[in-house]
């Protein structure tokens, strides 16, 4: 495999850009959860949830799941003979391939390449979530190699896939809370960060949402708050309940997006997506089933879980949507169906993934199809 280093070129220079998630895909990449200091009960309930999510995706397109060597045999036995699911060995520090994996870019003439960002576990030594993260940092190489695609790599730019959404037509959604955080690229100005997004993703306009809903975990990844559902159209979390923990961010983001134009000058159409009726909390029993180790932030029964319906994954002909056994589950499905009238909407219980700090979008990474 040949690596294209940043010194040689960038995607923009070579005519590549990040497509929208709603564009045709080749496959979805996942990583199998394992670490008992993040997932309760030795990650066994999470593994079942990941398996259900993989099966839901596999109705629409192939899934490759990278399992840590210690889990490989069991994961392969559980899932590896199912249609459209392949389990392979892949070391990683955890299972958030949206963030530690590569971002794929395409060009107009049938090529797909990968951008391998630098990764520091959501904040490095400033406010990262675990240490070390060296195995996560290699996932971009492994996925690009296995996908047989060439790879770009900026010299030192830190970015997670969950902190960006692109429309495939030059516009990118992100949050100031994350991209301007002290633990990412503190020496870069906003303009310099936009320069990286331009060069590596072909972006002409960055829409800077102010905050996300999980300041303590990912520093407010956009993929819990808003996303593109089509060029010129975004979805935004929405609640009118002032007591809901996501109320302020939802109001503020909706107001901002409603007045925003994209790279092509279109005023965005904004779809409202509900939040859960009630905040969801972990029980004492659930919290206690997570190993306590030096250096990780213990979960509590007091912090509301980050149960956004926004963290869905768009696949070929479908959308895989988090469900929580909440009264608003079906409302969320209906609202997402209205955004994607031509796709099949599949709800999957993802509470166990939320307990680990993410959701369906966080544990998946789409590989776009060549044009």
Query: Cβ of residue 40: shortest distance to its own copies, in angstroms?
Result: 25
Residue 153 in contact with its own copies, rule: CB under 8 A: no
Residue 289 in contact with its own copies, rule: CB under 8 A: no
Contact with its own copies (CB under 8 A) among 37, 52, 89, 204? 89
Task: Spot the catalytic one: 227, 236, 274, 362.
Answer: 362
# binding residues, its own copies (CB under 8 A): 22
Q: Are the CB atoms for 366 and 25 separated by under 8 Å?
A: yes
Alpha-carbon span 291 to 123, nearest angstrom: 22
Alpha-carbon span 282 to 323, nearest angstrom: 16
Residues 6+ apart with CB under 8 A from 251: none
Residue 145 in contact with its own copies, rule: CB under 8 A: yes
Q: Which is nearer to its own copies, 62 or 232 (CB)?
A: 62
Given the DSSP bridges, would you call strands 171-175 and 269-274 parallel, antiparallel or unpaired?
Answer: unpaired
Q: Quick count: other Cβ atoms within 10 Å of Cβ 13?
A: 10
Is 274 assigned a catalytic role?
A: no
Residue 3 in contact with its own copies, rule: CB under 8 A: yes
Residue 342, both tokens: 């031509």
Name the segment binding its own copies (CB under 8 A); options: 29-37, 141-149, 180-188, 289-297: 141-149
Q: Are the CB atoms for 173 and 237 separated by under 8 Å?
A: no
Residue 265 in contact with its own copies, rule: CB under 8 A: no
Contact with its own copies (CB under 8 A) among 146, 188, 230, 369? 146
200: nearest Cα among 102, 306, 278, 126: 102
Residue 48 in contact with its own copies, rule: CB under 8 A: no
Three-state DSSP class for residue 269: strand
Contact with its own copies (CB under 8 A) among 86, 210, 266, 277? 86
Alpha-carbon span 229 to 169, nearest angstrom: 13
- In what helix (H) or strand (E) does residue 238 lie, and over which residues does it extend? strand 233-238
Residue 87 in contact with its own copies, rule: CB under 8 A: yes
Name the segment binding its own copies (CB under 8 A); options: 135-143, 169-177, 186-194, 249-257: 135-143
Q: Are the CB atoms for 208 and 174 separated by under 8 Å?
A: yes
Alpha-carbon span 299 to 305, nearest angstrom: 10
Residue 83 in contact with its own copies, rule: CB under 8 A: yes
Query: Cβ of residue 160: shortest distance to its own copies, in angstroms?
Result: 21
Cα dist. 68→91, 139, 303 in Å? 5, 12, 30
Query: Cβ of residue 320: shortest distance to its own copies, in angstroms?
Result: 21
Name the segment binding its own copies (CB under 8 A); options: 29-37, 75-83, 235-243, 359-367: 75-83
What residues line the site for its own copies (CB under 8 A)? 1-3, 69, 72-73, 76, 80-81, 83, 85-91, 138, 141-142, 145-146
What are the catalytic residues?
Answer: 362
């Amino acid at each position: 495999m040949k690596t294209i280093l940043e010194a040689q070129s960038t995607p923009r220079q070579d005519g590549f850009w990040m497509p929208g998630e709603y564009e045709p895909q080749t496959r979805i990449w996942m990583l199998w959860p394992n670490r008992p200091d993040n997932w309760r009960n030795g990650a066994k309930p999470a593994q079942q949830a990941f398996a259900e999510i993989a099966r839901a995706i596999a109705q629409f397109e192939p899934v490759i799941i990278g399992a840590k060597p210690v889990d490989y045999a069991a994961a392969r036995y559980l899932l590896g003979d199912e249609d459209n699911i392949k389990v392979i060995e892949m070391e990683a520090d955890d299972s958030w391939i949206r963030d530690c994996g590569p971002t794929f870019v395409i060009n107009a003439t049938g090529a797909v390449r990968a951008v391998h960002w630098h990764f520091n576990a959501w904040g490095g030594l400033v406010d990262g979530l675990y240490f070390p993260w060296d195995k996560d940092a290699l996932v971009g190489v492994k996925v690009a190699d296995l996908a047989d695609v060439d790879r770009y790599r900026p010299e030192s730019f830190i970015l997670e896939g969950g902190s960006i959404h692109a429309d495939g037509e030059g516009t990118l959604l992100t949050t100031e809370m994350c991209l301007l955080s002290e633990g990412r690229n503190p020496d870069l100005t906003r303009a310099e960060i936009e320069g990286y997004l331009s060069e590596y993703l072909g972006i002409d306009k960055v829409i800077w949402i102010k905050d996300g809903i999980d300041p303590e975990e990912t520093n407010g990844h956009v993929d819990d708050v808003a996303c593109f559902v089509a060029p010129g159209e975004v979805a935004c979390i929405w609640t009118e309940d002032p007591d809901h923990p996501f109320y302020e961010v939802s109001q503020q983001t909706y107001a901002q997006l409603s007045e925003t134009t994209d790279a092509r000058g279109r005023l965005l159409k904004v779809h409202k997506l509900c939040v859960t009726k009630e905040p969801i909390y972990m029980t004492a029993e659930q919290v206690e089933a997570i190993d306590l180790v030096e250096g990780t932030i213990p979960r509590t029964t007091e912090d509301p879980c980050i149960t956004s319906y926004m963290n869905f994954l768009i696949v070929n002909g479908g959308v895989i949507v988090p469900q929580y056994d909440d009264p608003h589950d079906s409302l969320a499905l209906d609202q997402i169906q209205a955004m994607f009238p031509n796709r099949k909407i599949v709800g999957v219980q993802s509470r166990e993934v939320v307990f680990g700090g993410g959701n369906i979008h966080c544990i998946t990474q789409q590989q776009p199809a060549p044009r």
